[in-house]
Amino acid sequence: MTDRWETASVAELARAIRDGATSSAELAEAAIANHEARDAALAAYKTWEPDRFRAEARVADDALAAGIDLGPLQGIPISVKDLFGVRGYPTFAGSPRELPPEWRHEGPVIRALRGQLAVFSGKTHTVQFAFGALGTNPHWGTPCNPWDADAHRAPGGSSAGAGVSLWEGSAALALGTDTAGSVRMPASMTGTVGIKTTQGRWSIEGISPLSPSLDTPGVLARSVADAALAFSVIDPEASSDPDGFMADVETAQAGDFRIGVCETFFDACDPGIAEGVRDALAELEASGARLVRVEIPDLDEVDAIFRTGGLSAFEFASFMRDVLPDFLADIDPMVGSRFDKMAAMTAADYQGRIRRMDALSRAAHAAIADVHAVVGPTVPITPPKIADVKEPKPYMAANLMAARNTTVANLLAMSAVTIPVALDAAGMPVGLQITAAGGADERAIAIARSFERVLGTARERLGVPPRTR
């Protein structure tokens, strides 16, 4: 099984561990070997401790040998964004020095995985304090997008190392967080699957915050089937009946759903992105999916709110001033350059913005009430070359454009999934975003899985990234 470690689904790996075809220890060794072979080209991890990785794998195997089977993620390697507190690991949150010890505290998301004896491969790179869409970090370096063999392109942020770790072959699942698209942007840019949960559905305890009103933990995976399995373990509702949830996901068909196509999401896309998504939608329609045109009202205003800081600006500035003021001295210039404007927002401005966003959310949910989800490109730009975004002006332009489509789900309190569907004109991955009403996470995942059965997984549809060959 270890020779198929990178192509097997998580469910197949779980069965192989129980059947004796492999072990968690063997999977860990395969993952470590992949990391050692590819780290120089990809640089996914901030903290990599192979001995700890091996020790956790042995514990998972020993438990199974003793007849203790805690669930399908027992012994499965998972990478963790370096915002989550994980016992035994430092938390840097992309900063040049470790955060205080209390930020090692494990919250409910990590505890749910611990409860099944999942194995943590390491802590992946993040944009400093998660405030960036491209994945850059001047303190620790920026992971390489595996889809460009020659140029160093953005991996997507702020969960910069998450998708990269999946293609590196060092993890079968990856944890990220999403405040304006920080799970879906790296998933889209690296050709992986990303789930953005509805705000408040998964606890943000034990995670270094950017904007508590908008922060949502999420998962990246090599397939929707894998992502759904992780969701069934972590999600408080789905985990109460994981078999029922997975059965609903696996029986869903594309023809079961009425899908709204939002043309605004297709505006001003880089070459090959809109075309790739439209081609995928044509395949889905031919398979029975019911496509209709739907527009979410006032998306120009939603974009304007995002471009002027959303809620993140005020909440991040407050957190830094009140909790980690010493860390402002060495903040990433691309983050720090925006800090004065963030700090200038008044409480009245903030409260007014909350009220307006609530009204926009209600209007948006009413507009999509007759469809099961709304679709469009996840990210409208090709992942930029890092050399092209070193200066503030081009960086900010790319940063804002990258998050234009994803931030809608955050600001309007919706759920969303991105799946890989094409390569753009530059040979970089294109994501199709499935946005559903807030609280309809299960439906969004079921739709994504039904689409995947028609279109194929990333490996089946896109192939293998050049840097991993």
Which residues are annotated as catalytic?
81, 158, 182
Structure tokens at 288: 């029975």
Q: In what order do the strands lie in the sheet with 173-178?
A: 45-47, 119-124, 77-81, 173-178, 216-221, 193-196, 415-423, 429-436, 373-377, 258-261, 290-293
According to DSSP, the residues that pair with 433 across neighbouring strands are: 376, 418
Chain length of the chain: 469
CA distances from residue 320 to 111, 138, 316, 327, 342 in whole angstroms, order as listed? 26, 19, 6, 8, 11
Q: How far is CA 216 from the centre of its chain?
A: 10
Q: How far apart are CA 385 and CA 387, in angstroms?
A: 5
